[in-house]
Structure 1
Amino acid sequence: MKNVIITGANSGLGFETAKKIAANKEYRIILACRNMGKAQAAKEDIIAATGNENVEVQIIDTSSFESVHNFAKNIIDSGIRIDVLINNAGISPMRGTGLTADGFDIVFETNYLGHFLLTQLLLPVMNADCRIINITSDMHNPPYGLTWPGVEKIAYGDVDTRSRYAYSKLCMIYFTHALVNHFEKTDKTFVANSFNPGFMADTNFSQGSGKAREQMVKLTAPDRYSTLAQSSIALAEVATSPALADVTDQYFDRSTNTIRSSALSYNQHNAIELWNDSLKFCHLL
């Protein structure tokens, strides 16, 4: 049986992707969620919809190093080997402000740094053909543009509010590039890719956006629009399709098609800076 871990899997993209993967009973799904009650309800819904009873719930809050360490320890102690890790959990700046208990901007740690730590801790229990998928966003390249201010400014929230989410998603792409570079140096055979689900009005993440904003995005930025059904089908394929088993260091855009991400996202110096500082932040050096 193959084991899939999805963070933030009790609703939205994570939930729908978990349900689609669980339809194949070859897979055990581990819903890695912050809220146990919502996670249990999601588990029951997935089992009822798919008939696959190999669905488990584990608590994780990616805005907390302690929670990430506890989750990783539970996975390692269980003796399972991981075949797919989908780093999906995230919050928007409207839903989170200030610093975490670890001292970092809550959007930065929830969306990126917690997943960086989680991935590093789980590398020893990944199967040789494991797929790591980092959920990013086309907002890593926002209409107003981004420049790189340095890791520390992003990590501690010393950037304008509207850019905090954009930087966290840019970091997920840098993380993907750095992971692949790390694997090549260590002879690891894992693959890592970034996945952009697009703007999906039918998710909890986008609640409050309203129909007016949905229509505006459809009309003015169709290249950013998607639906939960479309993106979850594509993400499940990226996670499990044999045809994509060897594809690595790519940016999937709301589908199983790959495109170029922003020019800024290919800056190797920034990716290396982020990798090295993240190791320090997570006390892994």
Structure 2
Amino acid sequence: MSSKLKQQASYEATFAHNFWKQTLSRVPAIPAGIELAGKTVLVTGANVGLGFEAVRNFLRLRPSLVIMGVRSVNKGEAAAAALRREFLDARIEVWELDMESFRSVQAFAARAERELDRVHVAVLNAGLGKLKFERVDEGGCHEVTIQVNYLTTALLSFLLLPKLRPTTSSSEPGRLSIVNSGASLGLSLEDPGDGRFLDSFDRAEKFNGFGQYGLSKLLIMMFVAKLAQTINPKEVIVNCTDPGATKGTEFFRSVNSWIMSIALRSFMGIIGRRTADASRIYLHSSLVLGEESHGSWTDWIIRAWPKTMYTDQGHHMGERLWDETLEELKFARVEEKL
């Protein structure tokens, strides 16, 4: 488990380690014998990039049903049509999911509650990075990166728990893997003092796009570590999965500087993995790794948490984040899902 890897945390946060991991290591193949017959797989952000390739990788294991959660149903159906041509017997459904909206997340989860007997595997892949400060138009009007990468992802995690839990004592635990990023590894959180912790990320004057993205991913890792303490891994195994730097995705699609765009594409061209390879990491986290990965940071093995999470300050901030998150999401009665 990541909780036991404190001694590795500093090294795993270094550029040298991550450059080595990106350029010299290869994502292992999925072991033979893993099949998904009779099972339902759910992937968010599934019509492009890593999400789309993850669906393709899951379909090779012949699940009974794949749910593609997408913001645009038209684009999702076009992606699903391409997959149906490749996997002729596949059963694929496209469901609308706007991660900027609490209401959309609730509607998505309510549909799962109504229409699905069970979700066996859920990969929460939808995410974004914004280089300019923007607020969502709903709820507490949070900055959009924090809303999408943290708050609505946490909300969907809570709301899917009942469907992820096994229906009989002999059933395997459900799998919940939330996509994370090495951008969080060297970061720490500032104590906002008497103010609300979550509100401290909504200040335009302190906004930095790349920094905010990394912080949003640190928040979700802290959330997963705490969530894992509250749920039984015999029922649901939850972890974070890190695909690493990946070429050919639409991430940071909001970049409007041609210089920045060229720089990012050039960097990804040097160290980025192919989406087909990077998305296979999702399957390692959600199918290959077992109960030992509960609450952990993973790719094809278990990695150390961001080093701040091993400190007293990091532990304190994680507890505070958890309490504020439960308060923020109380409108959805999330504590009843635990």
TM-score by length of 2: 0.74
**Counterpart residue identity of residue 74, structure 1:** R
Structure 1: segments with no counterpart, 5+ residues: none
Q: Deviations over 1:59-101 (max 9, x none)?
A: 1111111111111111101142111111111111137722331
**Are positions 1:232 and 2:279 aligned together?**
yes
Structure 2: segments with no counterpart, 5+ residues: 1-37, 167-172
**Counterpart residue identity of residue 136, structure 2:** L
Matches of 2:134 and 2:266, distance apart in 1? 28
Given that 2:191 and 2:317 are in contact with CA atoms closer than 8 Å, whether structure 1 keeps it comes out as no
**Counterpart residue identity of residue 264, structure 2:** R
Alignment correspondent of 1:120? 158
**Are positions 1:137 and 2:175 aligned together?**
no
Alignment correspondent of 1:13? 50
CA deviation after TM superposition for structure 1 residue 245, in Å: 5.7
Root-mean-square deviation (CA, aligned residues, Å) is 2.4
Matches of 1:190 and 1:50, distance apart in 2? 29
CA deviation after TM superposition for structure 1 residue 195, in Å: 1.1
CA deviation after TM superposition for structure 1 residue 218, in Å: 7.0
Report the secondary structure of 2:293's partner residue: coil
Matches of 1:206 and 1:263, distance apart in 2? 26
**Are positions 1:85 and 2:128 aligned together?**
no
Of Structure 1 and Structure 2, the greater strand share is in 1
Across the two proteins, how many residue pairs are aligned to each other?
Answer: 274
Matches of 1:48 and 1:149, distance apart in 2? 52
Given that 2:99 and 2:152 are in contact with CA atoms closer than 8 Å, whether structure 1 keeps it comes out as yes
Q: Which has the larger radius of gyration?
A: 2
Given that 1:195 and 1:251 are in contact with CA atoms closer than 8 Å, whether structure 2 keeps it comes out as yes
Change (3 A) 1:64 1:42: same
Report the secondary structure of 1:204's partner residue: coil
Matches of 1:258 and 1:211, distance apart in 2? 33
Report the secondary structure of 1:268's partner residue: helix
Alignment correspondent of 2:215? 167
Matches of 1:235 and 1:26, distance apart in 2? 15
Q: Deviations over 1:220-271 (max 9, x none)?
A: xx5xx43312211121232233x53653222124xx1222132124432222
Matches of 1:265 and 1:154, distance apart in 2? 19
Instruction: Calculate percent identity across the aligned residue pairs.
Output: 23
Given that 2:198 and 2:321 are in contact with CA atoms closer than 8 Å, whether structure 1 keeps it comes out as no
**Are positions 1:213 and 2:259 aligned together?**
no
Alignment correspondent of 2:82? 45
**Are positions 1:259 and 2:307 aligned together?**
no
**Are positions 1:105 and 2:143 aligned together?**
yes
CA deviation after TM superposition for structure 1 residue 120, in Å: 1.2
**Counterpart residue identity of residue 59, structure 1:** E
Matches of 1:18 and 1:75, distance apart in 2? 18
Of 90-99 and 104-113, more deviation after overlay is shown by 90-99
**Counterpart residue identity of residue 201, structure 1:** K
Alignment correspondent of 1:280? 327
**Counterpart residue identity of residue 36, structure 1:** V
